[in-house]
Chain A
């Protein structure tokens, strides 16, 4: 039996993969990204050295998460921030809803936060009667479309300017043209009002610095700054793995994230939030809450083989190079974290039984591992997930798999049987040829879109028998 997420994946993949319009949009966007990413990578004196250092730093932070989280809490609380610990999504939602209720909030403005997607925070807040507005342009667009983000970094990359213009016209009645600058101004007009109305601003975090007790947020629109600075209360929802030990670690990670995320040397705005407004400071929130989210990250931490996946900085580089992602698109995954990293971690965060299919939906090409700035062994983790899935009670091989692994391989390894199989398959393939590519073709999964080469008149081993004498 296929899990519901697996059925969704297969149906969407079958629909999206042959869609050449979708493929064109993604290829064009990624083509541009690849050019600037490669240019900026050259600005590093030693890119591979930087990757090694980043991988070591992240692995060290993850291995001493307990120590770093305690230090972070101590340092950021020393300046008046309240730190909350959430074991799971429900706890995190309740903590945040509790703060909103305390503050008698009505309007919430948010900057981009994948953790909030992960715990379905918007749904919970809207259900509780709050008005929630996403302030990142891409997030704002998909929020208007009532869609989840398409990509970790580019939430609306699947849409054309024309589609965004039509959306703004329909929802905001304001769309003078499909010029990107004009469209941005439309969103800005709508959003500026919301910052002023908002009682609480909610952000995610790119890094949490243990040494100095700071939340680091990188962005290009200044929307996170306004989200943080204008409303009276600020809440940051951050996964516990986002910890970095030292402030100086940002000297490596900020440019690395920018280069791999968007192909920029640095994003336009890089801000550190160290607490609520201090005495004598001109701006900033009156109250600052940081919610540290586990939500099964510690399950992944306990897995010695795949722990390095907690080092992910959510740059999206693995999605960008992944031929599966580029052909099926972000929504097909049906999970917050799509692409290779999502296929690796989702089974840990949400259950292997339900999400194992993502680990099979890969040709194991390894482009993800090759590009990952923190050197997560992504495609090998997919192999390990497959191995772990086969050990589940439901992981028993199917009839055909049994046939393949229990019988085929031993046959292939016995000369007499292999020779017989060679002869039989010639006959079999001839018969199959009569129904080539049709529904009764036993290998239709292949032959519907591809021809199959014939079995050679003389196999290599048959030739070798004569030649090798």
Chain B
């Protein structure tokens, strides 16, 4: 299968290893990876801020670039939800409605693609650490992605998963929300960090680099002993 890999802008710039890990995993599984040249943004910031026209302007080249793909894998639950759940709404009643629906149906968040589409749960990875998992809200509630990351982690050798009490509680990132309401966003992040620390895990794992940027950013500023890592990086070990 040819996998079109969509690496969101901030993953491209700040977390390249997340994308590199995904490429290595898919190639190891014998799939061909292509990275569409043009789109680096799915239009979610504009969409979430209420500027749907602007968001559509960003989304159209994306639809164009992905229209012939077999399958699109998105390196973020949040951007994944944007493309597979919100594109059909965003483009409803426009000339791009059909294209949006067709692309949406081909879009998969990384862990869900591995488990639900490829039927792969064991990648032969080793990660001898105690870890806890943070459910990104979009992955969890828009994409119903509770199970796949945990099935993948269950087969990682040496890995011990300890669930935190607030696994499903938002980390407080929320895109532009984090900059618009920094005090609330920070308080939410503090709650998350406290819950993660209770597990005494070495790492917090997530499918969303944006959540991990929030959690790690807070922990580093407060000099808390928290390390974060994306699921793909764990699975590529």
Decide: A13 and B183 in contact? CB cutoff 8 A.
Answer: yes
User: In angstroms, how far is the closest chain A Cβ from the Cβ of B140?
Assistant: 8
Q: Which residues of A contact B19 (CB under 8 A)?
A: 460, 463-464
B-facing mask of A436-448, CB < 8 A → 1, else 0? Answer: 0100000101101
Contact assessment for A363 and B173 in the assembled complex, using a CB-CB cutoff below 8 Å: yes
Interfacial residues of chain A within 413-469, with CB under 8 A of chain B in the complex: 413-415, 418, 422, 425, 437, 443, 445-446, 448-456, 458-464, 467-468
Number of interface residues of B (CB under 8 A): 68
Measured between C-beta atoms, what is the minimum distance from A361 to chain B in Å?
6
Most buried by B among A443, A453, A454: A453
| Known contacts A413-B41, A446-B178; A17/B16 CB under 8 A | no
| Complex-state Cα separation, A322 to B167, whole angstroms | 14
Q: Tell me, yes or no, whether B170 is within 8 Å of chain A by CB.
A: yes
**Is residue A176 within 8 Å, beta carbon to beta carbon, of the partner chain?**
no
**Among all A-B residue pairs, the 5 with the closest Cβ atoms:** A363-B174, A386-B50, A450-B217, A365-B170, A390-B50
A405 touches B45 (CB 8 A): yes
> Does A180 have its Cβ within 8 Å of any Cβ on chain B?
no
By DSSP majority rule, is chain A's interface helix, strand, loop, or mixed?
Answer: helix
User: Which of A404, A449, A468 has most B Cβ within 10 Å?
Assistant: A449
Flag the segment in A212-220, A235-243, A270-278, A366-374 that touches B.
A366-374
A247 to B15, CA, bound (A): 58
Q: Which of B7, B38, B140, B188 contacts A363 (CB 8 A)?
A: B188
Q: Which residues of B contact A (CB under 8 A)?
A: 7, 9, 11-20, 23, 33, 35, 37-41, 43, 45-52, 54-55, 57-58, 61-62, 137-138, 140-142, 168-170, 172-175, 177-189, 191, 213-214, 216-218, 220-221
Q: Is the CB of B172 within 8 A of A425?
A: no
> How distant is the Cα of A34 from the Cα of B65 in the complex, in angstroms?
46
Number of chain A residues whose Cβ lies closer than 8 Å to a Cβ of chain B:
67
- Are A370 and B141 in contact (CB-based, < 8 A)? yes
B188 near A327 with CB under 8 A, answer yes
A458 contact set on B, CB distance < 8 A: 16
Q: How distant is A262 from chain B, measured CB to nearest CB, in Å?
A: 21
The CA-CA distance from A448 to B181 in the complex, in Å, is: 12
A–B complex contacts, Cβ < 8 Å, 15 sampled: A23-B187, A324-B184, A360-B181, A364-B48, A364-B177, A387-B50, A405-B45, A408-B41, A412-B39, A413-B38, A413-B61, A437-B221, A450-B220, A458-B16, A463-B20
Interface pair B187/A395, CB less than 8 Å apart: no
**Min C-beta distance of B223 to chain A, whole Å:** 10
In the complex, what residue of chain A is closest to B18 when comparing beta carbons?
A460
Q: Does A162 contact B (CB under 8 A)?
A: no
Chain B min CB distance to A318 (Å):
13
Is the beta-carbon distance between B169 and A367 smaller than 8 angstroms? Answer: yes
Interface SS of chain B: helix, strand, loop or mixed? helix
CB distance from A317 to the nearest CB of B (A): 15
Taken together as a complex, chains A and B put the C-alpha atoms of A446 and B140 apart, in Å, by 25
Q: Are A17 and B9 in contact (CB under 8 A)?
A: no
Are B179 and A446 in touch, CB under 8 angstroms?
yes
Q: Which of A360, A413, A445 contacts B39 (CB 8 A)?
A: A413
Contact B12 A364 (CB under 8 A): no
Tell yes or no: A323 within 8 A of B by CB.
yes
Cβ of B13 and Cβ of A456 under 8 Å apart?
yes
Contact with B along A251-292 (1 / 0, CB 8 A): 000000000000000000000000000000000000000000
Residues of A within 8 A of B180 (CB): 360-361, 445
Given contacts A360-B177, A363-B185, contact A453 B15 (CB under 8 A): yes
A18 contacts B by Cβ under 8 Å: yes
CB neighbours of B178 from chain A (8 A): 363, 445-446
> For residue A3, which residues in chain B have a CB less than 8 angstroms away from its CB?
none
Is B174 a contact partner of A362 (Cβ separation < 8 A)?
Answer: yes
Q: Is the CB of B184 within 8 A of A452?
A: no
List of B residues within 8 angstroms of A412 by Cβ: 9, 39-41
Q: Which residue of A14, A385, A450, A461 contacts B189 across the interface (Cβ within 8 Å)? A: A450
